Amino acid sequence: MNTTIAAAFVGWLGLLVWPGALVYGQEASSRPAVRTTAGASAFATGKKGVDLAMTGHCPEALPLLKKAMRSVAEQELRYNVAMSAARCAMSLDQKETAADALFFLNKEFPQDPRALYLATHYFSELASRASQELEKTAPDSPQTHQLQAEALESQGKWDEAAAEYRGILEREPKTPGAHYRLGRVYLSMPDSAENTAKAKAEFNEELKVDSTNASAEFLLGEIARRNGEWEPAIKHFAAASKRDAEFAEAFLALGMSLNAAERFAEAVVPLQRYTSMAPGDPAGHYQLATAYSRIGRKPEATRELSIQQELTKNAPGTPHRN
The predicted pLDDT at position 37 comes to 76
Q: Is residue 248 part of a domain?
A: no
Reported as a pLDDT band with limits 50, 70 and 90, residue 27 is very low
Domain coverage including residue 120: 3-136
The predicted pLDDT at position 145 comes to 82
From CA 58, how far away is CA 314, in angstroms rounded? 50
Q: Is residue 66 part of a domain?
A: yes
79: nearest Cα among 42, 27, 31: 27
What confidence tens digit (pLDDT) does each residue in 258-296 have? 999 999 999 999 999 999 999 999 999 999 999 999 999
Q: Is residue 152 part of a domain?
A: no
Reported as a pLDDT band with limits 50, 70 and 90, residue 2 is very low
The predicted pLDDT at position 23 comes to 39
From CA 5, how far away is CA 13, in angstroms rounded? 13
Q: Is residue 108 part of a domain?
A: yes
From CA 222, how far away is CA 236, in angstroms rounded? 9
161: nearest Cα among 170, 152, 173, 172: 152
Reported as a pLDDT band with limits 50, 70 and 90, residue 161 is very high
Reported as a pLDDT band with limits 50, 70 and 90, residue 35 is low
Q: Is residue 16 classed exposed, middle or buried when 0-12, 13-18 and 19+ CB atoms within 10 A define those classes?
A: middle
Average pLDDT over residues 155-166: 94
What confidence tens digit (pLDDT) does each residue in 239-251 have? 999 999 999 999 9
DSSP for 14-38 reads GGG--TTSBTTBS-GGGS-----HH
Q: Is residue 238 classed exposed, middle or buried when 0-12, 13-18 and 19+ CB atoms within 10 A define those classes?
A: buried
From CA 183, how far away is CA 234, in angstroms rounded? 20
| Amino acid code (one letter) for 23 | V
Q: Is residue 161 part of a domain?
A: no
From CA 139, how far away is CA 161, in angstroms rounded? 17
Q: How many domains does the chain have?
A: 1
Q: pTM to 2 decimals?
A: 0.68
For the domain that residue 72 is a member of, what is the CATH number? Answer: 1.25.40
Q: Is residue 155 part of a domain?
A: no
From CA 234, how far away is CA 253, in angstroms rounded? 8
Cβ pair 205, 177 in contact under 8 A:
no
Of 21 and 155, the one with more pLDDT: 155
What single DSSP character describes residue 191? P
The predicted pLDDT at position 177 comes to 93
The CB-based long-range contact list for 289-295 (8 Å cut-off, 24+ gap) reads: 290/259, 290/264, 291/255, 291/258, 291/259, 291/264, 291/265, 291/267, 292/268, 294/259, 294/262, 294/264, 295/264, 295/265, 295/268
Of 2 and 123, the one with more pLDDT: 123
From CA 317, how far away is CA 313, in angstroms rounded? 9
Average pLDDT over residues 48-72: 93
The predicted pLDDT at position 39 comes to 74
DSSP-assigned beta bridge partners for residue 264: none
